[in-house]
Amino acid sequence: MKMKRVIAAVVFLVLAVGLYVGIPRVLTGNHVLVRFTNSISLDARIYETRRLPEENYDYLAVGSSMTMNNLNSDVLLNYLGPLGEKFYNFSVWGVTVEDIENWTEVLLEKYKPKGIIMFSSMEDFDGEEKDYDYKDISRYIRGYPESMFYLHYGVFGDLHYYDEYAELQGYKNDYDSLDFDANGGVALEVYGIERSMNRWEKQFAEEYQQDGPSYESLYQMAAKLKQKGIDFYFVQVPSRPNYMADEGAKEVLEQHMERCRDIVESSGQYYYSAVDYEQYSDQYFSDYTHMDVHGATMLTQEFLENVFIPSREQ
C-alpha cells in the first residue's frame, strides 16, 4: 500500500510538471525555460545551447552583449567557412566578466575549441558576480533529462517570463533581442527614432571597480585557456564619441585598456583595442556602446584583418 502511494505521488508530480510545461507552450507557442537564473538572457542561452547539434566548434565567442551584438557572425564565417571551420556565439547580455568566466568553464566541458573570442567594454567590469549553480547548468546542456530540472527549480514561475522570451525572440529592433542567428549572434537593427534616448544620451560613469574581481577573472580566463592550448582574443570595443566626451572619460578608459592589455598579453594571449573616435562615428551605433549591424560588420572585419588572421599565420 505504501509503495502504491509513492508511485501515485510520483505519477502525480510528473503529470503536474507536464501540464505546467505544456500549457504555456500551447498559450505562447514557446518552450518553457528552466529558470536556472534571474536572467532571461542566460536561461535562453542555456536552453539554446542544449538544443545545438552534438558537434564541436573550432571557435567560441563568449561575453556580454558586447560580443552578442558587436561581433558579426557572417563576417567571421566568410573567412572560417571555406576553411571547413565552425563558429558559435554563446554570449549573454547583462553579465560581468566573473559570470563570463563561469559560463566559459561550462562550455569547455562540452566543447574543445581552438580559440575563444571576447568583445568587451568597461561596463563588463562593473557589477557583482551572479550566484548560479553552474554544475546543474552543465548537466542540463549536456543532456540530462529536462524534467529533473523543472522539478528541482520549481514549476510555479509566472507565465510572463515565458511570454517575454517569446517576444524577445521575435525581433532585432530591440536592445534586449534574443533573436539569435544561426550562429548564436544578434545583429542589432535599432536606428533613428527607434533608439532609446536614455541610452543614446547616456553619460560616462567615472567610477568603475578599478580594483574589482572582474580583472582577476579576466586573468584566470586568459591563463587557464593558455594552459589548455586555447587561443584567447580579447577586443576592446569602441564607444559612441559623445559618450566619451566628458572630462576625464578617455583617461579612465585608457587606464582600463592598459590594465586589460597587461593581463591578457602577460598570459601569452591576444589583446586588441578597436577604440577609434573618428573611424566609428555616431552612424555605427544603436546606443552609447552597442553597435548596429553596420558597425558590427565593420568592427568584426577590423578584428579579422588585424588580429585573428595574423595570429593564425604565425
Name the pLDDT band for 139 (thresholds 50, 70, 90). very high
Instruction: Judge whether 265 and 228 are in contact, CB under 8 Å.
Output: no
What is the pLDDT at residue 4? 57
**Residue 167 has which C-alpha cell?**
517576444
Residue 116: enclosing H or E segment and its boundaries?
Answer: strand 115-120
Instruction: Give the range with max mean pLDDT: 39-53, 156-170, 188-202, 295-309.
Output: 295-309
| DSSP letters for 53-114 | -S---SEEE-SSHHHHHHS-HHHHHHHHGGGT--EEE---TT--HHHHHHHHHHHHHH---S
pTM equals 0.87
Mean pLDDT, range 25-33, rounded to an integer: 55
pLDDT, tens only, 213-272: 899 999 999 999 999 999 999 999 999 888 888 878 888 899 999 999 999 999 999 999
Distance CA 269, CA 163 (A): 41
Residue whose C-alpha cell reads 554570449 in the numeric block: 91
Please state whether 143 falls in left (phi above 0), alpha (psi between -120 and 50) or beta: left
What is the pLDDT at residue 279? 86
* Residue 178: Cβ-neighbour burial (10 angstroms; 0-12, 13-18, 19+): buried
| DSSP letters for 236-273 | EPP--GGGG-STTHHHHHHHHHHHHHHHHHHTT-EEEE
What is the pLDDT at residue 212? 74
What is the pLDDT at residue 152? 82
Name the pLDDT band for 22 (thresholds 50, 70, 90). very low
Task: Work out the end-to-end distance of the chain between its first and last CA atoms, rounded to an integer number of angstroms.
Answer: 72
Q: Give the phi and the psi of residue 167 in degrees, each rounded to 5.
A: -65, -45
Distance CA 159, CA 137 (A): 22
pLDDT, tens only, 39-74: 889 999 999 999 998 889 999 999 999 999 999 999
What is the pLDDT at residue 63? 97
